[in-house]
Structure 1
Amino acid sequence: MAVTPPVCDFGWPAPDFSLPATDGKTYTLSDIKGPNGTLIIFMCNHCPYVLAVLDRILRDARGLQALGIGVAAISANDAEAYPADSFENMIRMAQARGFPFPYLYDESQAVAHAYQACCTPDFFGFNADLGLQYRGRLDASRKSTGPTDLRRDLYEAMKQVVETGKGPAGQIPSIGCSIKWKAA
């Protein structure tokens, strides 16, 4: 089922975390934080919305890192119900695709709850002071990859954050599969 996140809550502070990554290290928010901003991406291995744009996520992450934006991706899906999203499969995907950022595992789902993440992909773009400035889409792609000339909404918004400290007033929310929450 497709889910759309809420509108950006400008200035909302980034919740801290400490999560294991596919590279064998554990990362906190301060480890990820870039001098000009931070991008946290909630995603997973199996989501068709993520898979449709994964190459673009990787491209834009590299471009944003070059602008001083720290980037990390977090998978919080219930891996028992969705084995494709297991930590072992996350390691395989990160290595096979050459992720330029840490791919973190939120097994308890506490971080996803703290961020109020609701779908994959769900993008949280913060300024240098870790205040939320972007909670929009990557581009206009949906379950299939859009044309190559689509406006790079995430990249352009985060570039604006680097230049001004503020994200665009108008943002189009991301859309994707719901986070696969564990049964209560």
Structure 2
Amino acid sequence: MTFVLSSMMELGKKAPNFKLPDTVSGEVVTLSQLKSDIATVVLFLCNHCMFVQHINSKLVELANEYQPLGMQFIAISSNDIKKFPQDDPFFMAQMAKYNKYPFPYLYDEYQDVALDYGAESNPDLFVFDGNLECVYTGRFDMTRPGIQPATGEDLYTALDAIMEGKEVSPNQYPSMGSSIAWKRGVSRNNIDMFF
């Protein structure tokens, strides 16, 4: 497993649309169907990563706090399941149910969505305003597995600013986690990834 820092989306960039299956409901959904008029949080996660496991309970708590206020959370896994069978959609659905995810957990089989978003790590976070323009990208918080408990501080701060009608601070930090497990030949920034 390789650990990477996220490259971070340019602030103001429009959220790329997508059409992906939800591993829990079995329905195919789009960003335009799921998005919020207040804020939409798109998270790239996977089952096996210790960084994702570290934030899971706090992420669920945070989503349960902000979704009733009109925000939308959407989780996506883009990992190559040949490399990590535990990230298979069947196990994604089990993970979502076990953790009581209050948001859809979508499977990006062809990794197009991860490429469109410039996602690199699990977890990798993107927050979009009501116009689907990026206002926050990067880490959940500064914690690391086995060091201190997850707080969600960075994401909390961004979402609170949106709720208060304030500008989200541009002082943002990259997320760190396990690299998205790219399929052989997937091209990223014109470089073939052979892992």
TM-score relative to the length of structure 1:
0.93
Q: Which residue pairs with 1:2 in the alignment?
A: 3
Q: The residue matched to 2:138 in structure 1 has which SS?
A: coil
Q: Which residue pairs with 2:19 in the alignment?
A: 18
Q: Which residue pairs with 2:173 in the alignment?
A: 172
Change (3 A) 1:120 1:169: same
Distance (Å, rounded) in 2 between the aligned partners of 1:131 and 1:15: 10
Q: What is the letter of the counterpart of residue 88 of structure 1?
A: F
Determine whether 1:91 maps to 2:89.
Answer: no
Matching of residues 47-126 of structure 1 within 5 Å: 47-126=49-128
Change (3 A) 1:151 1:116: closer
Quote how far apart the aligned CAs of 1:123 are: 0.3
Q: Which residue pairs with 1:152 in the alignment?
A: 153
Q: What is the letter of the counterpart of residue 18 of structure 1?
A: K
Deviates more, 1:40-49 or 1:162-171: 162-171
Whether the aligned pair in 2 keeps the contact of 1:133 and 1:161 (CA below 8 Å) is no
Change (3 A) 1:125 1:183: same
For residues 104-127 of structure 1, the C-alpha deviation after alignment (integer angstroms, 9 at most, x for no partner) is 000010111111100000000000
Quote how far apart the aligned CAs of 1:67 are: 2.4
How many residue pairs are counted as aligned between the two chains? 183
RMSD: 1.6
Distance (Å, rounded) in 2 between the aligned partners of 1:114 and 1:12: 11
Identity value in percent? 39
Q: What is the letter of the counterpart of residue 45 of structure 1?
A: N
Gaps of at least 5 residues in structure 2 are 186-195
Quote how far apart the aligned CAs of 1:141 are: 1.5
Change (3 A) 1:59 1:151: closer
Gaps of at least 5 residues in structure 1 are none
Distance (Å, rounded) in 1 between the aligned partners of 2:152 and 2:26: 35
Q: The residue matched to 1:164 in structure 2 has which SS?
A: coil
Distance (Å, rounded) in 1 between the aligned partners of 2:166 and 2:117: 20
